[in-house]
Structure 1
Amino acid sequence: MSNADPLSREQAHLTESRAALRAMRADVEALDIRDVTANWVNAEVLQREVDARIKALADLADTPLFFGRVDYLHAPGADQAEGGEGEQFYIGRRHVHDADGDPMVIDWRAPVSQPFYRASKNEPMDVRLRRRFGYTGGALTAYEDEHLSDPDESQQSSRLLQQEIEKPRVGPMRDIVATIQPEQDEIVRSGIGGTVCVQGAPGTGKTAVGLHRVAYLLYAHRERLARTGTLVIGPNDSFLRYIEQVLPALGELEVKQATVDALVAHVEVRGTDSAPTAMIKGDARMARVLRQAVRAGVTMPAEGIVVVRGSRRWRVASYELEEIVRQLLDRDIRYGAAREALPQRIAHAVLVQMERAGEAPDDRVQDAVARNAAVKAAVKEIWPLVDPAKLVLRLLSDGEYLAEHAEGILTDEEQKLLLWAKPARSVKTAKWSPADAVLVDEARDLVERTHSLGHVVVDEAQDLSPMQYRAVGRRCTTGSATVLGDIAQGTTPWATGSWEEALTHLGKPEAQVEELTLGFRVPRAVIAYASRLLPSIAPDLKEATSIRESEGDLRIRPVSPEELDLAVAEACVQALEHEGSIGLIAADARCERLSRVLGELGLAHLTPGEETSAQARLTLVPASLAKGLEYDYVVLDSPSAIVAGEPDERTGLRRLYVCLTRAVSGLTVLHAAPLPAALAG
């Protein structure tokens, strides 16, 4: 192969780029910061930053350092009328420069990289050529060119792009920087000032879009988000473990991840609620009940107070105190903030009297008066401390107390559903449910403002209750959010009915709603089969389509009840003959039995979230945990059992829709009982 061979030149550039990255890391490792800082605290902070930088500059041998190249007709930013020689940029996961500081690889998030994702024959964006690279492991083995400025060359679908999308996977979720599509890129690069809601059908990459948007915002607004923080919220711990490697692979190591339950873990959750009770507790009206209960503690003063200062006595009349209290109530600030302001307001009233008497008190005198025993006693009586958990405990335990604050908000029947059958005596002994913990979080925010982050991503948002939306919204009141979900995949009794309603509860009614209907991962035959359920579960949504060129492997197999367990195990064995990950998805009630059958046959299997261990390629997935996960091949056990495992048929069909759309390459459905009517035939 001659030196003029394009592939050889690109391989040489990869080798040089890897060497440059190693040099960049070596430069950071060689930094001597011992005498740079004034004290040990600053030294610790600086050392952590250096360590993070070293970690971010790691060269992952099996991860392509760059995946594309764009050749411009003119230098970016130059006046095209004046000409100017075009430039060539390699697009990768991180920036790499040589010893002179010249870029060898451009970060995919940089503005100059945007045309790699969006340029087309109709709108070439001054790009002459777009080159994609194919890798085997970490070795560059192929390339593919698109001449966007050549009117005689028709635009063909990218073979390398298809191969990357359809590549088998084992382990956690990967980034998609090499395959981001134009409609996805628009969402990824949308500004930090606004909240974006992505309604995405299965396989459209909404989760990846949300994670890559975080990475982009951290690149474009690094300093701002370093101060305010970012957070990714997922539906469960299994899902978070599945996605946890995406952002680190993009060089972002500081983004926190949590479930909603973890965010509101102010009390120990040991109990559960029936669906009707959970729906009432998750209803937005509960915020009004809690607000009334919190503010009900405030009482108007029955008499004035006397403050003694030296030989002088200063009296604040009851009507003056009442006026101060009413002003604070009318301001509608947090209960705790108002309580802290009350003694200062009372002290100010005393200082006014002092000034009228010819004295000249300063701020120190006002602070001293605010700390006066008489003032403190009055504040304790007028505006008592509120313990959020104890307040919620009383609401759920005391029928009269609940009725007092829920009157005109909740019906008598709804109030009865809220009350615990066995009232708890203390916060520690109470059997709090997940919905109760959200109520405590709401009460805490009424007392003291929740810290707001710069940006929050919430995935599988369609399953949140209104009160959970409020809990998430409190974490980004001064920031923005990316809301990801699919109305058709809502499987909780309180699942979102419309994004407009959900965004209002979130506190972001002005959010922009984007719909992704073009699938990249789920095969055509599989998504078409699952879409038979849409008229029953989400008739207003568009049916998803797929850019996958192959139809995919879809098999529907009826078997006898006696043969079902063995047939499922055999289907797993057949799936394991293929490359990639295998998911056996079954109704929760069936999983224990199937695990035993797999064990008896010597088939090693994992539980969701354990895929990072890569000890086995087969995962046994309870239907309730399937959301957000994907596997190359899926064996789906007993669709009717999955539907029957939910409180009602509509929720069950939505759960089934989720399970049917977890397959990336092939789906085998086995059933002994008749299929749901929507799938029959």
Structure 2
Amino acid sequence: MREIPEATPVPTHARPDDPGIPHEPDIPDDPLGRERSHLAASRAALSAMRADVQALDLTDVTGNWVNARILQREITARIAALADLADTPLFFGRLDYLHTPGEADSPLPQPSADEHGTRFYIGRRHVHDKDGDPMVIDWRAPVSQPFYRASRAEPMDVALRRRFGYTGGELTAYEDEHLSDPSEADTGGALLQAEIERPRVGPMRDIVATIQPEQDEIVRAGISGTVCVQGAPGTGKTAVGLHRVAYLLYAHRERLARTGTLVVGPNRSFLHYIEQVLPALGELDVAQATVEELVAHVPVRGTDSAAAAQIKGDARMAEVLRRAVGSGLRMPTEGLVVVRGSRRWRVPVYELDEIVTELRERDIRYGAAREALPQRIAHAVLVKMELGGEAPDDRVQDAVARTKAVKDAVKELWPPVDPAKLVLRLLSDGEFLDQCSEGVLTEDERKLLLWSKPARGVGSAPWSFADAVLVDEVRDLVQRTHSLGHVVVDEAQDLSPMQYRAVGRRCSTGSATVLGDIAQGTTPWATGSWQEALSHLGKAEARIEELTRGFRVPRSVIDYASRLLPSIAPGLAPATSVRDSPGSLDIRTVEAAGLDSAVVAACREALTHEGSIGLIAADARIPGLAEALDAAGLSRLEPGEETSRQARLTLVPASLAKGLEYDYVVADEPVAIVDGEPDERTGLRRLYVVLTRAVSGLTIVHAAPLPRELDSDAR
């Protein structure tokens, strides 16, 4: 690895005519100077690209104000996407090909080739010069793929792969791999390792410079198929999912611009943590939401017992709700008479019966069938008019469909359904629940579902999150939910079958990326197998990939946490780690009276290191630890608040730790974390989550004996 001396000036003169070769510095044999010169010129080119967009005159370009507003919004988004982030490297790698890649390999203009082949700088976005020749190639372009997948065994026509090291926004080092030279020794990738281990302050960063071959295969999977990633802690499954979104937006931008993309996370703290990843890659139009926000059709103010929530989340509830929706349907008992002018047209009961039966047997939504019913009845009337010598047209059919007689018949045969009111009735009326769940739920399960007090109305009902999911199911039975082009759902192992159905409705005609770890399932209804979960999602044909090689969690930490796997996920392969960090695991046994003081001392010690600090404890222990930190004068952040150089310690309830990571973690009283859950297995899974949040070091402070699954002597 070559370091740039601090005093090395940055060359500023123009690049040469050959767009594939970076501009030369004043000293011909100074490769570091050439790279810094190319960086400076690339930044100048990006600034010029942004200035060109800002200078666009939209006056009289469009025919009306609507198109003008749409165009202006697109221009504003383009300007934002071209922002040059000072502390984010514009390019992070370089590929020197032995031969010039074919035009079919890339949708971008090709750099010129010389006798040495073709050179590409790989970065977060495409940058071109004033002539349109590329200075930086987007990491998602096909021609960039060998940067992530080429190896000495399979060089993919790459002569040299160069990685760059940065301090802030300044290029400070580079490291070369001559992939086509079998005599060159493997250096081990010091820059790659340094980037992986770089301390984290603030939100989650992208991993675009460090994507590994097995991760890249998932990232570049086609849009037509759903991918499920079973990822052990530290394997980068969340980052892989986000980079997959960025890749799909690059490869299928027009399609996804029409249909939309969505990232679903477990809570707002998690979404805040990851929200800067896609903008850093130039993607600004990806929506983010929790499942709770997706189904926010009723005001949630109540909670369920674990047993009740588990039943409400059971897939059998879909059948109960289907029956409830159809419970109001009636078969006709008398004919229908429509008056038109001086004539009366009668639709006999058998014809109405045929119409209603045909609609009931069709696989269409309740609301769509209800909208079709008056037209079907009106058509029957029109047939009679034609037989009677009249010549009615479509306008007559619409008028007949709007007559009071037809409206009254539709209301009687196919009454409207209000989803919230229907679920309210189901949870308040024992007889109605019995009728809809006969043969599906047991008597004891029905008792658990019923509210203790009947609600007076939708606004005053004690809705829980699980109830809101039921309302969402009914809404879809009545009217089809809008489907997006692609949905990413993270921490998916914690979703109930009914929650999977709610997410699946949002991508019923699109694809999905499902991310999770069965060993980290901490809800009573946590996923037992991905095959079952994907079936509930409506994506039973999805491809399942497993990531077991960790890059962030130190080996000693992941090995220690993996001792819980035989108890919490017996069939799951333990994760391995590429990071061997001696001293990263510290287990401290203290007296009960001094537990809080020892935890504060561990936090103070952790703060002597660079990076973010997470103090994670059982939810019940949080208030006491907050007081102890305040008394010790240690400032603290709440989960979701952004860390900074001045405030780096976050106090995290164990229930909110999932998906987050910190450079150093202080884990308070593991047995309290286990005991804070409804059962031991769930508690051990929660502890597994807590123990695997550390990137550089984990300190466990405990007074009570550790769970028997852990050997406290292993240090």
Question: Cα deviation per residue 1:474-516 (whole Å; 9 max; x = unaligned)?
Answer: 0000000000000000000000000000000000000000000
Whether the 8 Å contact between 1:304 and 1:321 is mirrored in structure 2 is yes
Aligned position for 1:155: 186
1:390 matched to 2:415? The reply is no
For structure 2, the 5+ residue unaligned runs are 1-7, 9-26, 106-112
Aligned position for 2:568: 537
The aligned runs of 1:181-220 (5 Å cut-off) are 181-220=212-251
Alpha-carbon distance in 1 for matches of 2:147, 2:340: 75
Aligned position for 1:307: 338
TM-score if structure 1 supplies the norm length? 0.99
2:97 aligned to 59, 72, 88, which one? Answer: 72
SS class of match (2:395): helix
Whether the 8 Å contact between 1:206 and 1:485 is mirrored in structure 2 is yes
Alpha-carbon distance in 1 for matches of 2:504, 2:386: 46
Alpha-carbon distance in 2 for matches of 1:559, 1:549: 27
SS class of match (2:84): coil
2:664 aligned to 609, 633, 636, which one? Answer: 633
Alpha-carbon distance in 2 for matches of 1:351, 1:236: 55
1:59 matched to 2:84? The reply is yes
SS class of match (2:161): strand
Deviation at 1:641, TM superposition (A): 0.1
Aligned position for 2:435: 404
1:15 aligned to 35, 40, 50, which one? Answer: 40
1:274 matched to 2:305? The reply is yes
Question: Cα deviation per residue 1:113-134 (whole Å; 9 max; x = unaligned)?
Answer: 0000000011111111000000
The aligned runs of 1:455-466 (5 Å cut-off) are 455-466=486-497
One-letter code of the match for 2:671?
Answer: S
Whether the 8 Å contact between 2:671 and 2:705 is mirrored in structure 1 is yes
Distance 1:151 1:78, change over 3 A: farther
Alpha-carbon distance in 1 for matches of 2:149, 2:54: 37
Deviation at 1:83, TM superposition (A): 11
Aligned position for 1:110: 141
Aligned position for 2:30: 5
SS class of match (1:667): strand
Write out the 4+ residue segments of structure 1 that deviate beyond 4 Å after TM superposition.
Answer: 82-85, 612-615
Alpha-carbon distance in 2 for matches of 1:374, 1:612: 66
1:24 matched to 2:24? The reply is no
Alpha-carbon distance in 2 for matches of 1:383, 1:668: 64
1:662 matched to 2:687? The reply is no
The aligned runs of 1:600-639 (5 Å cut-off) are 600-611=631-642, 615-639=646-670
Alpha-carbon distance in 2 for matches of 1:312, 1:580: 85
Alpha-carbon distance in 1 for matches of 2:482, 2:218: 26
Deviation at 1:161, TM superposition (A): 0.3
One-letter code of the match for 2:213?
Answer: P
Alpha-carbon distance in 2 for matches of 1:197, 1:296: 37
Whether the 8 Å contact between 1:97 and 1:103 is mirrored in structure 2 is yes
TM-score if structure 2 supplies the norm length? 0.94
SS class of match (1:45): helix
Deviation at 1:537, TM superposition (A): 0.3
User: Which deviates further from its counterpart, 508-517 or 155-164?
Assistant: 155-164
Deviation at 1:34, TM superposition (A): 1.3
Deviation at 1:42, TM superposition (A): 1.3
One-letter code of the match for 2:314?
Answer: D
Deviation at 1:549, TM superposition (A): 3.9
Alpha-carbon distance in 2 for matches of 1:246, 1:597: 34
The aligned runs of 1:398-477 (5 Å cut-off) are 398-477=429-508
Alpha-carbon distance in 2 for matches of 1:615, 1:249: 23
Alpha-carbon distance in 2 for matches of 1:109, 1:65: 14
Aligned position for 2:355: 324
SS class of match (1:598): helix
One-letter code of the match for 1:388?
Answer: P
Deviation at 1:332, TM superposition (A): 2.5
SS class of match (1:13): helix
SS class of match (1:563): helix
For structure 1, the 5+ residue unaligned runs are none
Aligned position for 1:180: 211
Distance 1:79 1:55, change over 3 A: closer
Question: Cα deviation per residue 1:29-49 (whole Å; 9 max; x = unaligned)?
Answer: 111101111122211111111
Alpha-carbon distance in 2 for matches of 1:204, 1:606: 26
1:168 matched to 2:168? The reply is no
SS class of match (2:75): helix
Question: Cα deviation per residue 1:186-212 (whole Å; 9 max; x = unaligned)?
Answer: 000000000000000000000000000
- Aligned-pair RMSD on alpha carbons? 1.4
1:49 aligned to 74, 77, 83, which one? Answer: 74
User: Which deviates further from its counterpart, 88-97 or 39-48?
Assistant: 39-48
One-letter code of the match for 2:474?
Answer: A
1:87 matched to 2:112? The reply is no
Question: Cα deviation per residue 1:554-596 (whole Å; 9 max; x = unaligned)?
Answer: 0000000011000000000000000000000000000010001
1:479 matched to 2:510? The reply is yes
One-letter code of the match for 1:26?
Answer: A
The aligned runs of 1:221-370 (5 Å cut-off) are 221-370=252-401
Alpha-carbon distance in 1 for matches of 2:447, 2:516: 33
Aligned position for 2:65: 40
Question: Cα deviation per residue 1:166-199 (whole Å; 9 max; x = unaligned)?
Answer: 0001110000000000000000000000000000
Aligned position for 2:108: none
Give the aligned length: 680
Question: Cα deviation per residue 1:206-265 (whole Å; 9 max; x = unaligned)?
Answer: 000000000000000000000000000000000000000000011001100000000000
SS class of match (2:198): coil
Whether the 8 Å contact between 1:129 and 1:149 is mirrored in structure 2 is yes
Distance 1:183 1:45, change over 3 A: same
Whether the 8 Å contact between 1:337 and 1:447 is mirrored in structure 2 is yes
Deviation at 1:84, TM superposition (A): 7.7
Alpha-carbon distance in 2 for matches of 1:89, 1:44: 37
Whether the 8 Å contact between 1:202 and 1:522 is mirrored in structure 2 is yes
Alpha-carbon distance in 2 for matches of 1:515, 1:282: 26
Alpha-carbon distance in 2 for matches of 1:674, 1:125: 54
Alpha-carbon distance in 1 for matches of 2:597, 2:52: 59
Question: Cα deviation per residue 1:53-82 (whole Å; 9 max; x = unaligned)?
Answer: 1111111111100000001111102899x9
Aligned position for 1:520: 551
Alpha-carbon distance in 2 for matches of 1:552, 1:167: 17
Aligned position for 1:128: 159
Alpha-carbon distance in 2 for matches of 1:618, 1:99: 47
Deviation at 1:85, TM superposition (A): 5.7
Question: Cα deviation per residue 1:301-320 (whole Å; 9 max; x = unaligned)?
Answer: 11111011111111001111
Alpha-carbon distance in 2 for matches of 1:637, 1:34: 62
User: Which deviates further from its counterpart, 581-590 or 348-357?
Assistant: 348-357
User: Which deviates further from its counterpart, 146-155 or 636-645?
Assistant: 146-155
Deviation at 1:630, TM superposition (A): 0.1
Whether the 8 Å contact between 1:526 and 1:552 is mirrored in structure 2 is no
Whether the 8 Å contact between 1:523 and 1:552 is mirrored in structure 2 is no
1:596 aligned to 613, 627, 637, which one? Answer: 627
Distance 1:325 1:79, change over 3 A: closer
Whether the 8 Å contact between 1:518 and 1:544 is mirrored in structure 2 is yes
1:561 matched to 2:592? The reply is yes
Alpha-carbon distance in 1 for matches of 2:29, 2:39: 16
Alpha-carbon distance in 2 for matches of 1:607, 1:540: 36
One-letter code of the match for 1:395?
Answer: L
Whether the 8 Å contact between 2:612 and 2:643 is mirrored in structure 1 is no
Alpha-carbon distance in 2 for matches of 1:6, 1:587: 53
